[in-house]
């Protein structure tokens, strides 16, 4: 099944360039384009993308607010912020808004394709140390007040979720729990579906906000 991609940028040349790169990938389909944050929200409602490539700075409504609103309506849609600025503050705000991570606009074609494919299957683009730092700054939820979706997690899934919140990769989790990477991947996919989130970064944020795991130490 082809990955449905929505392109959001106020510069037509940028959208055309990205669309041209994606057109050569058999497993990706550009289903729509938008110039502003408000157009992005409408396009997401209409086209139901799997992945949104979202510019940060745009007229009318910026990419951060557009991401928040898209994620409120379609939490399983993955958003990658695309920016010219390598600014950790942007990344933190983007991930808090619901993004799976971000890419710089000078990213290579192969890196862009890899990023889209990764987030479409629950992956994320954020360094583990930055994730830990973000989670340590969050106000944790009260332990023991488990929200409805989390009650469906098995003991093993909660164990894996805690390691995801530590920033561990599937292979690292597999080594820690003496499981195969494929088994861990299946558990992570089940966690994302049960929590109704698009990627492992948002699963970690959900876990901390709802008191499902301890905040990682920085």
Domains of the chain from N-terminus onward: 3-125 (3.40.50.2300), 132-209 (1.10.10.10)
pLDDT at position 215, please?
Answer: 63
Looking at residue 34, its pLDDT comes to 97
CA angle 89/173/212 to nearest 5° reads 65
Average pLDDT for residues 125-145, to the nearest whole number? 71
The answer to whether residue 138 scores a pLDDT higher than 80 is no
In sequence order, what are the residues at sequence separation of 6 or more whose Cβ sits closer than 8 angstroms to the Cβ of residue 151? none
175 vs 166, more confident: 175
Residue 216 has a pLDDT of: 60
| 126-165: burial string, b at 16+ Cβ within 10 Å, e else | beeebbbebbeeeebbeeeeeeeebeebeeebeebbbbbb
Evaluate whether 144 touches 121 at the Cβ level (below 8 Å): no
pTM for this model (two decimals): 0.87
Q: What is the mean pLDDT of the chain?
A: 89
Identify the pLDDT of residue 142: 58
- In 3D, which of 148, 129, 138, 130 has the Cα closest to residue 213? 138
Contact yes or no for 87/114 (Cβ under 8 A): no
Residue 218 has pLDDT above 60, yes or no: no
- 146 pLDDT more than 70: no
pLDDT band at 173 (very low <50, low <70, confident <90, very high): very high
Are 44 and 198 within 8 A, CB to CB?
Answer: no
Least-confidence region, from 59-68, 70-79, 85-94: 85-94
Hey, what are 140's tokens?
């944790």
Q: What average pLDDT score do residues 75-89 get?
A: 88
> According to the model, what pLDDT value does residue 217 have?
61
Residue 119 has pLDDT above 60, yes or no: yes
Give the pLDDT confidence score for residue 59 in this predicted structure: 84
- Asked if 214 contacts 159 with a C-beta cutoff of 8 angstroms, the reply is no
Please report which confidence band the pLDDT of residue 1 belongs to, taking 50, 70 and 90 as the band edges: confident
What is the share, in percent, of the chain residues with pLDDT greater than 70? 94
pLDDT bin (cut points 50, 70, 90) of residue 212 is confident
Res 195 pLDDT > 90 = yes
Instruction: Give alpha helix (H) positions in the chain.
Output: 12-23, 37-47, 63-73, 88-97, 109-120, 128-137, 155-164, 170-177, 181-195, 200-209
């Amino acid at each position: 099944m082809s990955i449905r991609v929505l392109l959001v940028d106020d510069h037509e040349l940028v959208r055309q360039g990205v669309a041209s790169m994606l057109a050569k990938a058999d497993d990706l389909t550009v289903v729509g384009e938008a110039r502003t944050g408000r157009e992005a929200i409408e396009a997401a409602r209409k086209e139901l993308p799997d992945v949104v490539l979202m510019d940060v700075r745009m007229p009318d409504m910026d990419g951060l607010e557009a991401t928040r609103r898209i994620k409120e309506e379609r939490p399983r849609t993955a958003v990658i912020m695309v920016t010219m600025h390598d600014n950790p503050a942007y990344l933190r705000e983007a991930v808090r808004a619901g993004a799976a991570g971000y890419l710089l606009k000078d990213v290579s074609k192969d890196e862009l394709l890899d990023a889209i494919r990764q987030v479409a299957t629950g992956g994320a683009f954020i360094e583990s140390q930055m994730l830990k730092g973000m989670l340590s700054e969050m106000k944790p939820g009260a332990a023991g007040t488990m929200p409805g979706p989390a009650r469906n997690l098995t003991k093993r899934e909660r164990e894996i979720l805690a390691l995801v919140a530590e920033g561990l990769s599937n292979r690292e989790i597999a080594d820690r729990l003496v499981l195969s990477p494929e088994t861990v991947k299946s558990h992570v996919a089940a966690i994302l579906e049960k929590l109704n989130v698009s990627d492992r970064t948002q699963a970690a944020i959900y876990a901390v906000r709802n008191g499902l795991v301890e905040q990682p130490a920085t």
